[in-house]
Chain A
Amino acid sequence: MAKPLIKEYGSPGRKGYSLPEVDVPEKDPEEALPEGTIRQEKPDLPEASEVDVVRHYTSLSNMNYGVDSGIYPLGSCTMKYNPKINEDVARMPNLANIHPYQPEEQVQGSLELLYELKEYLAEISGMDEVSLQPASGAHGEYVGLMIIRKYFEKKGEERSKVIVPDSAHGTNPASATMAGLDVVEIESNERGMVDIESLKEAVDDDVAALMLTNPNTLGIFEKDICQIQQIIHDAGGLLYYDGANMNAVLGYARPGDMEFDVIHYNLHKTFSTPHGGGGPGSGPVAVKSKLAPFLPAPVLKKEEEKYCWDFDRPDSLGKIHAFYGNYGVMLRAYSYIRTAGAEGLKEITENAVLNANYMKEKLKDTYELPFASDSLHEFVLSGSRQKKEGISTVNIAKRLLDYEQYAPTIYFPLIVKEALMVEPTETENLASLDRFIETMKKIAREIEETPEVVENAPHNTVVRKLDEAQAARNPDLRW
């Protein structure tokens, strides 16, 4: 059952705040400001006490589930544990309590951290220059594609085609559109990889870029990457790497070595920064040196042991954020990379891949495994066997909630019917994996024995299955 709205705690005249008295002579703004610009009616905001507010949000938090509650195997989202020391680092007063327009010499400590983070991200990806500015993964994709757009503009080449595999994240085609480019989708082959023939057919003089996730959204490494990059580069196009799945390759392969030209990271995936219930994230972009001039302004530089922002970037794609991006998120990622160190990063990937493969092995007999190719940090099952029994994947997901475990990503990638995309991450241990495996098997048994229990799930959550059709048909978006 949902809680009352915060507004319902209110009572006229009740206050939850305290402010100092006005200690200067008061002036009537109505006399000074343009006519009609003084608010006549107060906003209808809550009138709640501090205790009301605290209890309300505490009770809301109790209706939520995070990584700290249990396994969160959302494929392509890399829901790993969010280390607490990173939170402490980001909240250190002399790191957090600074203003974006403070003179650079007052924030050298912060700039040094950011500069080092940039260097680590360049090293990890095998790229040359990094911008930390994009505030989310999608923002990073957009910036990466704008860089490509500017690069060809500068070269005087008119190229507008962006090739995207049908297994790609929805953001890829959407970002291409935001950057004013045209999307061409190509099909995957029966092994779940880019179909080379389809790729060749799609490639021509108009191709600006191929966007690829490697490993792709099926968790499968594109083995033909060398051939793929050759085809694109021979046609004069560039290669874009969607870094959503970086957790699969740390220390094992670098996009730069695979000849990618641009990559975006998701610090909130690979580098453990919390997702916050849907943001803030951070999507740094790393490029090969020929693309560096087009990075968003400003770029962080080091000159004679001093760090400074370089705004003088004549070929830059422009500004994309009012300030420098999601600084607080960057601090957490810095803290994480320093905690892991060179060896630790590789260990992260090894354990993420080990966990995913163990789970896949244990579940592939119960649920259909549509693509048998080797997979890395995530894998995709299909609920089509269960669908024949009349139970959809969404019901399986909802039933998992009854067992107090979060559901995998469902109905994605689009090339798998009734998809269940599972990414356990390295921070789950064997016991937690086994528990999830057992639950998934149990649900499969329930589908055979008591399908109505699964069909009507969830049963134990604060609300039962919600009517999404009703919400979309008659949107109620505010009180």
Chain B
Amino acid sequence: MEVPEGLCFTEDHEWLKVEDGVGTIGITNFAQEELGDIVFVELPELEEEFAQHDNFGVIESVKAVSDLYLPVSGEICAINEDLLDSPELVNEDPYGEGWIVKVKLSDEAELEELMNTEEYREFLKEEA
């Protein structure tokens, strides 16, 4: 299964890409396949602040609901408004146009807890 390089991952199958102190967050290809057709993404408000592992939103497929947890603490600095009308972007391009939020990291040290690409690939194997 395709897992891009250079990202961080959580055990909840979310990915995080950090650039200049800002993390872009989405769900992995594995997660979108497990959920099936995504029909709704509930997004947080801009400037809302969250602690690490806080529930910041909800993602829904036809017959499943999944809470979204923030991999790192910080303030929401962007939300993907395209998902409101086209939640299927998460299915079609989970690592690209299907990103969910961007967060201004408050503690980069938290990144160390996350998995790298190699570790996540291993994790997926174990899950299977």
Contact = CB atoms under 8 A, between A and B. Distances in A.
Direct chain A–B contact by Cβ atoms under 8 Å = yes
Interface of A: 411, 468-469, 472-473
18 contacts: A411-B63, A468-B37, A468-B62, A468-B63, A469-B36, A469-B37, A469-B39, A469-B61, A469-B62, A469-B88, A472-B39, A472-B40, A472-B60, A472-B62, A473-B39, A473-B40, A473-B87, A473-B88
B16 to A, nearest CB: 26
Contacts of B40: 472-473
Contacts of B36: 469
Contacts, number: 18
Interface of B is mostly: loop
B96 to A, nearest CB: 19
B65 to A, nearest CB: 11
Contacts of B61: 469
A415 to B, nearest CB: 15
Nearest to A411: B63
A468 B60 CA distance: 13
Interface residues of B, number: 10
Contacts of A468: 37, 62-63
Contacts of A469: 36-37, 39, 61-62, 88
Contacts of B88: 469, 473
Interface string B51-89: 000000000111100000000000000000000000110
Nearest to B88: A473
Interface string B3-39: 0000000000000000000000000000000001101
Interface of B: 36-37, 39-40, 60-63, 87-88
A419 to B, nearest CB: 13
Nearest to A468: B62
Given A468-B63, A469-B61, A469-B62, 8 more contacts: A411-B63, A469-B36, A469-B37, A469-B39, A469-B88, A472-B60, A472-B62, A473-B88
A191 to B, nearest CB: 25
A469 B62 CA distance: 6
A411 B36 CA distance: 14
Contacts of A411: 63
Nearest to B64: A411
B7 to A, nearest CB: 27
Closest 7 CB pairs of A and B: A469-B37, A472-B39, A468-B62, A473-B39, A469-B62, A472-B62, A469-B39
Contacts of B62: 468-469, 472
Contacts of B60: 472
A468 B38 CA distance: 11
Nearest to A473: B39
Contacts of A473: 39-40, 87-88
A412 to B, nearest CB: 10
Contacts of A472: 39-40, 60, 62
A90 to B, nearest CB: 35
Nearest to B62: A468
Contacts of B37: 468-469
A224 B60 CA distance: 37
A468 B61 CA distance: 10
A469 B88 CA distance: 9
B91 to A, nearest CB: 9
Interface centre among B37, B60, B61, by most A CB within 10 Å? B37
Nearest to A410: B63
Contacts of B39: 469, 472-473
Contacts of B87: 473
Interface centre among B60, B62, B87, B88, by most A CB within 10 Å? B62
B79 to A, nearest CB: 18
A472 B88 CA distance: 11
A468 B36 CA distance: 11
Nearest to B39: A472
B59 to A, nearest CB: 13
A468 B40 CA distance: 13
